[in-house]
Structure 1
Amino acid sequence: MRALRQARNATLAELATETGLTASTLSRLENGRLRPTLEQLLPLARAHGVPLDDLVAAPLTGDPRVHLRPVRRNGLTVVPLTRRPGGVQAYKVVHPPAGQAPTMELQTHEGYEWFYVLNGTVRFLLGEQEFRLGVGEAAEFDTRVPHWIGSADSRPAELLTLFGAQGERAHLSPSQH
């Protein structure tokens, strides 16, 4: 449940307002200290835009494929690529063309993020710096630094994003020959 909320960049307080559940209840559900009831799961599934099966951890069928279910949030299309709770989470994120994003406010939150540009051109604001990244370029940063990511032109920008708890980083190493 935490991964779904984080994919939407929603706080516990925001999710509490959306669902009618208290932030304390949501926190206990996310930490596994409370077993969810159907009355709690229904508003959570609606808020996250996912089927109930995704929230109740239906038993795995042995099928390794990830069943992609896009979530539209704050003008972005976010496709979760990982299902396991905790650890580094992977997402495909599609940013709308420049000028169509609902807001360009810098944000901060706990965590560490890495992204790779799959398609388009990205405008990336990090603190007082501004970067433009094209296809095949990547960036990594501490999300406690104020930041904003969006398309730099009239085309959508598609990113592969890895998000982890504070201190975790995505590392690529050359293969050993």
Structure 2
Amino acid sequence: MVTDEQRDDGASGTVAEAIAAVGPRLRALRGRKDLGLAAVARRTGISVSTLSRLESGGRRPTLELVLPLAEMYGTTLDDLVRSARPADPRVRRPQFAVGARLVQPLSWNRAGRSTYRIHVPGHDTRVELQRHEGHEWLFVLSGRLRLVIDEDDTVLEAGEAAEFSTLRGHWFGSTGDGPVDVISLFSSEGEKVHVRSYEDEDEDEDQGEDGDEERGGGAPEGAETAPAGGADRA
């Protein structure tokens, strides 16, 4: 049973742990900046004694105290007050449909990069080339994937991967033999998801310093594309 006194002192469980962790985090941030308490006091207007008690846990952190410190240290309130217990690492994003395909987000789409699992039904065979900025990397989990890039028409078996610039005309879907499950890594910023091989390294050595062309294991360059062979992403 939690008493009223315990609630007044900061509640129990993860809330109390998060509050208790603020002081050590502030002290660590100040140490990284190589600042004394007096220097922080001058920049924030918070007294040296208050800063000292905050860092030692003798003063309860409040928004009025923590906000100017977070701004000065270049961090966020979330980082300062996050729970001491590890957060649930699972990505919980709803599955959605793109035409006949089912797309399951596997990442939080940070920094213009995203990861999807795509289920392509067996009847999804109509080729419709699309072009847009980005670079895509595909890995076939099951089934047989037909990948068309401009005039190139390739079939990928389960366990095979491909990467390509989405500035080129591209489409992927079923060969008609049955459904396909694919992992798609996409970057809208044009940054390659580059999986180097021993052959790549040998080619780099042969090319020497005069080679200007970045290699992608035989795949064209660019950035990653929409999860359904060029369809818009959510």
TM bracket (short chain): 0.5 to 0.7
Which structure 1 segments of 5+ residues have no match?
Answer: 1-58
Query: Contact 1:142 / 1:166 at 8 angstroms: preserved in 2?
Result: no
- Structure of higher RCO (CA pairs closer than 8 Å, 6+ residues apart): 1
TM-score with structure 2 length normalisation? 0.45
Corresponding position: 1:131 with 2:176: no
1:85 correspondence with 2:115: no
| Over 3 Å off, 4+ runs | none
Which residue in the other structure is 2:134 paired with? 111
Give 1:106's aligned amino acid: L
Q: Is contact 1:123-1:149 (8 Å) kept?
A: yes
For residue 191 of structure 2, give the secondary structure of its aligned residue in structure 1: coil
- What is the letter of the counterpart of residue 156 of structure 2? L
| Residues 153-162 or 139-148, more deviating | 153-162
SS in 2 for 1:86: helix
Corresponding residue SS for 2:112: coil
Higher strand share: 1
Q: 1:170 maps to what in 2? A: 193
Pairs aligned (count): 114
Of 90, 98, 101, which residue of structure 2 is paired with 1:73? 98
Give yes or no for the alignment of 1:150 onto 2:186.
no
Name the amino acid aligned to 1:127. Answer: D
Alpha-carbon distance in structure 2 between the residues aligned to 1:133 and 1:102: 14
CA distance in structure 1 between the partners assigned to 2:175 and 2:125 by the alignment: 14
Q: Distance in 1 between matches of 2:196 and 2:168?
A: 26
Deviation at residue 144 of structure 1 after TM alignment: 0.9
Task: Indicate the SS of the match to 2:162.
Answer: strand
8 Å Cα contact 2:125/2:176 also seen in 1: no
Give the number of the structure whose alpha-carbon radius of gyration is greater: 2
Q: Which runs of 5+ in 2 are unaligned?
A: 1-81, 198-234
Q: What letter matches 1:157 in structure 2?
A: V
Q: Give 1:110 shift.
A: 1.0
State the Cα RMSD in Å. 2.3
Change (3 A) 1:83 1:116: same
Of all paired residues, the percent bearing the same amino acid is 36
d(CA) in 1 for partners of 2:125 and 2:139? 22
Deviation readout 1:135-176 (Å, 9 max, x if unpaired): 1111100001001100113311110100002431113358xx
2:124 equivalent to 1:101: yes
User: Does the 8 Å contact 1:113/1:143 carry over to 2?
Assistant: yes
State the 1:103 CA deviation: 4.3
Which letter maps to 2:187? G
